[in-house]
Amino acid sequence: MRRRLPLLAAAVCLTLPNAAPREQHPGRGRVTRLHTALAQPPVLANMSRLAHTVEVSLTAAPGRLSLVPGTTSEVFAYNGRVPGPTLDVHEGDHVIVHFRNSLPEPTTVHWHGLHIPASADGSPLDPVMPGQQHDYVFDIAPGTAGTYWYHPHPDRRAGYQVAMGLFGAIIVRAEDDPLPASISEKLLILSDNRFRADGSADFPGLHSTQAEVDAENGREGNVLFVNGQLAPSVDIRAGEVQRWRIINASAARIYRLAIPGQELLELGHGPGFFAKPVWTREILLANSQRVELLVRGAGAPGSAVPLQTLPYDRYDPHTRPADWNETHELLSLRISAGAPASSVRIPATLRPVPALDTSHVAEHRVLVLTQGMINGKMMDLARVDFTARLHTTEIWEIENLVGMDHPFHLHGFRFQVLDRDGVPEPFPYWLDTVNVPPHSAVRIVVHFDDFPGKWMYHCHILDHEDMGMMGILQLQ
């Protein structure tokens, strides 16, 4: 499904194939006339005047917003918005987040993918009670420039709170970003939801058939959002190159992203760039994963092509939804009027990504994923499942024994994939979540360089996480 072909030249003049819009059947990727431009979430205001210090205020509170036109929904929102405002920082920054929980229930803020102390991770071990305030304080590690996100991680309640609207983006920038500064940047946060006729989020009754399906597959919605908008549009000049940071904030949905007739230049995943960019026609983005890519305006002024999510069968065969094989449009890429943009040269090498050393491995572990359990156990906050030592390297083999995908997330530490079903990965790169397809095994290697404490690992289908498909690693 993906051509992982690194660029080998010293630099490349970015030219993607022209893509004229195609007439297609409704529901199968037909370009629609759109009236709403893609809006960018606001950036959290920095209250600090100190150099290399970012100090912000973040509040989770109930609210009422119009998520679907014509209705008003009861939501949980960060600073009154869905999605929440973006935390925009640089490598080396000292970050202080003054968080207030104005919700009627406990919550946390988990800084998904960031390499920060366990005390700041926002795991279910450290709930913030209703009416309480908590300061999350951490430093942004050098070499971690990339795209991340934040969301609640309370015990057994993450899926509900995310569905109610609690999620936002984190951008970590490098001072020596290899891409030309002239390239415009877009943030795309993908989410989905289900609503009742009155606009309220649709959560099924405890023992209903839909509740059983959600428990099996994870809760999917039939309304797809980009930055909280329905099928927005992005204007781009002919020949213009844009840098897109895409976050999958859905509880369970996996996106198979493509633009008809175009190849995309994939720069890397959430924890940062590949060593070399990769041409690809589609990108599989499991829930909680992120990707950075370059797209180019191709076609005549006034034409448009959609960003699509193509069919992908991630489901248990017994509860696969009837519409799983439909293509959906997420947004429209519209070629605006004006003089064509000049070509942009992209360096063939983005940054060094050395392979982790596997010559001295302290521990080999096997994690067996079954429905709702890891290694035959459900989550117990009072139990430590694994103990590891600081400054050591471990190899984890993650085996999925069931008939649906499970995205596996490790808190606090990025890792590299060694192989999938024994087939080596073509080059090293960083992840913090890896999708494990049904009846398959993935081996990852991780180095525990610092930050002792208790760390979560779990399936990132939020319903599975909430049901207890999670364990605790004690690092000492």
- pLDDT, position 33: 42
| CB contact at 8 A, 112 and 197 | no
Lowest mean pLDDT among 6-10, 378-382, 464-468: 6-10
- pLDDT for residue 382 is more than 60: yes
Q: Which CATH superfamily is domain 53-173 in?
A: Cupredoxins -  blue copper proteins (2.60.40.420)
**Structure-model confidence comparison of residues 16 and 123, the more confident one:** 123
End-to-end CA distance of the chain: 40
- pLDDT for residue 105 is more than 90: yes
Write out the E strands in 349-450. 363-370, 373-374, 386-388, 392-400, 406-410, 416-420, 423-424, 433-436, 440-448
| CB contact at 8 A, 456 and 123 | yes
Mean pLDDT of 45-52: 97
Eight-state DSSP code of residue 84? P
- pLDDT, position 342: 82
- In words, the CATH class of domain 363-475 is mainly beta
Q: Could you tell me the CA-to-CA distances from 165 to 151, 192, 227, 301 in Å, in that order?
A: 9, 10, 11, 36
pLDDT band at 35; cut points 50, 70, 90: low
| CB contact at 8 A, 369 and 406 | yes
**In this structure, what token pair is assigned to residue 471?**
């364990």
CATH of 180-347, one of 3.40.50.920, 3.20.20.70, 2.60.40.420, 2.60.120.260: 2.60.40.420
**In this structure, what token pair is assigned to residue 417?**
């994939």
Lowest mean pLDDT among 9-23, 81-95, 197-211: 9-23
Which own/partner pairs from 62-69 qualify as long-range (CB within 8 Å, at least 24 positions apart)?
Answer: 62/102, 62/103, 62/104, 65/165, 66/199, 67/165, 67/193, 67/195, 67/199, 67/225, 67/228, 68/195, 68/199, 68/223, 68/230, 69/230
- pLDDT for residue 31 is more than 50: no
- pLDDT for residue 72 is more than 70: yes
Mean pLDDT of 126-135: 98
| CB contact at 8 A, 247 and 189 | yes
Write out the E strands in 71-132. 73-78, 87-90, 94-101, 110-112
Amino acid type, 115: H
pLDDT band at 32; cut points 50, 70, 90: very low
pLDDT band at 30; cut points 50, 70, 90: very low
- pLDDT, position 14: 52
53-173 and 180-347 in the same fold:
yes
Domain positions in the chain are: 53-173, 180-347, 363-475
- pLDDT for residue 10 is more than 50: no
- pLDDT for residue 158 is more than 80: yes
Lowest mean pLDDT among 42-46, 307-311, 315-319: 315-319
- Of 19, 88, 9, the residue nearest 295 (C-alpha): 19
**Structure-model confidence comparison of residues 252 and 14, the more confident one:** 252
Sole residue written with tokens 């709170």: 161
Q: What rounded mean pLDDT belongs to the chain?
A: 92
- Which pTM was predicted? 0.93
- pLDDT, position 299: 86
- pLDDT for residue 373 is more than 80: yes
**Structure-model confidence comparison of residues 387 and 300, the more confident one:** 387
The percentage of residues in the chain with a pLDDT greater than 90, rounded to a whole number, is 89
- pLDDT, position 21: 34
Mean pLDDT of 10-28: 38
